[in-house]
Structure 1
Amino acid sequence: MQLKINGVEIAAYPIDFQVTILDLDDADSTTRTADGTLNRDRVAVKRQIEMGFNPLPWADISAILQAMDAVFFDFYYPDPMAGAYVTKRMYVGNRPAAIPIVKGGVLWWDGLQITLTER
């Protein structure tokens, strides 16, 4: 598997990688009738990607987080629906990283979780 942010390979690869295909509906025109029938106005199909990482040395976690520092960025990944690698314009949500530990004189961060959502 290859993962790239703005054309550069990611500093460390996740142990968990999940692609969710999201349907976005128009809130005003998507309704249910009295008999429960859905009248749906799908306006877009987007991707959301969740990644979880093993403990990362400070340099690697910093490189990953800095690569996603812009408001939007290009993310290259294998897409299950496309059946190929694609590049999508994404933004990142919250990026929790659990407690840091020192091992061999190096600070390691455990439990980084990242959620990317297509613009």
Structure 2
Amino acid sequence: MQLKINGLPIAEYPSQFTVTTLDLDDAESSVRTADGHLNRDRIAIKRQIEMSWGLVTWAKTSAILKAMEPAFFEMTYPDPRAGDYVTKTFYAGNKPALVAVAKGSEILWSGLKVTLTEQ
């Protein structure tokens, strides 16, 4: 699998990788009628990517977080709907890194999770 952020390979491949296809509807014009019929106005189809990692070195954790630091960045990933690798512009939401553990003189982070949403 190939994952790139702004054209560069990701510092560490995630242990979990999920792509969700999102339908975005116009909130004002997408309504149900009194008989339950849905009048839907889909305005876009977007992607959301969820990634998580197990134990990762401090340096690689830092590199992952820094790569996703800009307000928007390009991500290349395998897209199940497209049936190929695609590059789209995303932003990252909260990025918790849950546990720091010491292994000798090295600090490892576990539980880093990132949710990316297409612009």
TM bracket (short chain): over 0.9
> How far apart are residue 104 of structure 1 and its match?
2.4
Structure 2 Cα separation of the partners of residues 104 and 88 of structure 1:
40
Q: Which residue of 1 aligns with 2:64?
A: 64
- 2:107 matched residue in structure 1: 107
- 1:6 correspondence with 2:6: yes
In the alignment of these two chains, the number of paired residues is 119
Q: Which residue of 1 aligns with 2:32?
A: 32
Number of the residue aligned with 1:75: 75
- Residue 95 of structure 2 aligns to a residue in which SS? coil
Q: What's the counterpart of residue 96 of structure 2?
A: 96
Q: Report the 3-state secondary structure (helix = DSSP H, G, I; strand = E; otherwise coil) of the residue aligned with 1:27.
A: coil
2:43 aligned partner, one-letter code:
V
Deviations 1:59-84, CA, capped at 9 Å, x for gaps: 00000000001000000000000000
Q: Normalising by the residue count of structure 2, what TM-score does the alignment of the two structures yield?
A: 0.99
Q: Distance between the aligned counterparts of 1:49 and 1:99, measured in 2?
A: 22
Deviation at 1:39, TM superposition (A): 0.2
Once superposed, which parts of structure 1, at least 4 consecutive aligned residues long, lie more than 4 Å away?
Answer: none
Amino acid at match of 2:44: A
Question: Where do 5+ consecutive residues of structure 2 fail to align?
Answer: none
Unpaired segments of 5 or more residues in structure 1?
A: none
What's the CA shift for 1:97?
Answer: 0.5
Q: CA separation in 2, counterparts of 1:98 and 1:34?
A: 47
